[in-house]
Amino acid sequence: MKWPQQWTAQPPVLGLTRGYRHFRVLGEIGKAKARRLELEAVLERGFRLVVPLQALRDRSLWQPGWQSLSRPASMQIIPAIDLLDGHCVRLHQGDYGQVTRFNDDPVAQALDWQRQGAERLHLVDLDGAKTGQPVNDQAVKAITSALSIPVQLGGGVRSAERAEELLQCGLDRVILGTVAIEKPELVKELAGRHPGKVVVGIDAKDGLVATRGWVETSTVQATELAKSFEGTGVAAIISTDIATDGTLAGPNIEALRAMAEASSIPVIASGGIGTLEDILSLLSIAPLGVSGVIVGRALYDGTVDLAEALQAIGPARLQDAINPPSGSITV
Ligand code: AMZ
């Protein structure tokens, strides 16, 4: 029986493989019933995984999916820094009463993620989102001037003047949440004046849009709001599922699919990323227009390694450089 030299793990086993997906056959070990195939994960921090041949024969664990990599989907991985009173924090499901403080030096944190290969940084002024007033500008400006990658900011951007001030201060993009629902005309005007610079943040609780630091919930469907910005020049929609945010429990794929299908504006997934597998699972909806993913708590907790995630799913996916299957082994 012939097996391809390179393998792609399919969903049921992704958990077992710690989210690693693409494997190369190293060889066989053991004899008779103890014969096993030795596989190497195709990522820089490779690891060896020994799979019983029987499992391969049964196709219960693996399928030869390598060929699909000739047209790989990729997605921008955007690390997030949420600022509360100048510190890097994460909230659980957006609850200001459930704060974890991760780093007191946001500039050092931002520089670290840039060094690991991030191509963009996502900043949230949590005080600003709640009060409508900028509170963390000192940290925002320090981060923006220290970094060479583009930085986007949301939280408390409630007027055209404020948005334009931020763009002039070196922010690459501004994210508008509350005003997208309260003053949609303002968002459309700004997006028309600053193409590629205005992002709408749609944060949803059970499919309904939440605003003002997620303290208030509207009766507007998140997908309807997304639709209403079609053709306005909005650069992207950041779609956050509040129930999963800060939980590491996995993204809400169905909600993201609905958001991606609602309009042709690129969608950036936010909320719930806990593992590399979670990030990889988004590839299934990448063709619908999900172009990026925001990762927060998982980076601080170390359950996602940024450099590794960038290799697995970012524009420079390591497996792309690997030659197509060049042979097979006989079992
Ligand atoms: O965690 C929260 N409670 C929270 C949060 N992360 N509340 C708002 N935000 C973020 C949104 C969006 O990026 O995801 O603030 C921005 C929206 O702010 P505003 O002020 O425009 O509604």
pLDDT digits (tens, 9 = 90+) for 47-94: 667 777 776 666 656 655 543 433 456 789 999 999 999 999 999 999
**pLDDT exceeds 70 at position 325:** no
Number of neighbouring beta carbons within 10 Å of residue 38: 16
Active site annotation includes 82: yes
Please give the distance, rounded to the nearest whole angstrom, from the Cα atom of residue 213 to the centre of ligand 1: 5
Residue of 95, 183, 214 with the most ligand 1 atoms within 8 Å of its CB, for mutation: 214
Catalytic residue among 127, 172, 203, 245: 203
Least confident of 20-24, 172-176, 179-183, 192-196: 20-24
Residues 58, 10: Cα–Cα separation, whole Å: 14
Q: From the CA of 203, give the closest atom in ligand 1.
A: 14
Residues 213, 247: Cα–Cα separation, whole Å: 17
Please give the distance, rounded to the nearest whole angstrom, from the Cα atom of residue 303 to the centre of ligand 1: 24
**pLDDT exceeds 80 at position 15:** no
Q: From the CA of 240, give the closest atom in ligand 1.
A: 14
Residues 124, 48: Cα–Cα separation, whole Å: 39
Active site annotation includes 172: no
* pTM, rounded to two decimals: 0.79
Residue nearest atom 5 in ligand 1 by C-alpha distance = 213
pLDDT at 329: 33
52 bridge partner residues: 36
pLDDT at 303: 95
Say which CATH architecture domain 76-312 belongs to. Alpha-Beta Barrel (3.20)
**pLDDT exceeds 60 at position 323:** no
Residues with CB under 6 A from ligand 1: 91, 94, 124, 126, 129, 154-157, 175-178, 201, 203, 211, 213-214, 238, 240
Q: Which two tokens stand for residue 70?
A: 């000739």
Please give the distance, rounded to the nearest whole angstrom, from the Cα atom of residue 299 to the centre of ligand 1: 19
pLDDT at 310: 87
* The Cα angle at residue 194 between residues 192 and 200, in degrees rounded to 5: 80
Q: From the CA of 211, give the closest atom in ligand 1.
A: 22
Residues 37, 27: Cα–Cα separation, whole Å: 6
Residue nearest atom 8 in ligand 1 by C-alpha distance = 213
Q: From the CA of 246, give the closest atom in ligand 1.
A: 1
At residue 317 the predicted structure's pLDDT band, cuts being 50, 70 and 90, is low
pLDDT at 23: 77
Q: From the CA of 178, give the closest atom in ligand 1.
A: 22
pLDDT tens digits along 81-131: 999 999 999 999 999 999 999 999 999 999 999 999 999 999 999 999 999
**pLDDT exceeds 60 at position 200:** yes
175 bridge partner residues: 154, 199
pLDDT tens digits along 224-277: 999 999 999 999 999 999 999 999 999 999 999 999 999 999 999 999 999 988
Least confident of 151-155, 175-179, 199-203, 285-289: 285-289
Number of neighbouring beta carbons within 10 Å of residue 253: 17
Please give the distance, rounded to the nearest whole angstrom, from the Cα atom of residue 200 to the centre of ligand 1: 11
Please give the distance, rounded to the nearest whole angstrom, from the Cα atom of residue 90 to the centre of ligand 1: 12
Burial label, 195 (beta-carbon count in 10 A; 0-12, 13-18, 19+):
exposed
Q: What percent of the chain has pLDDT over 70?
A: 82
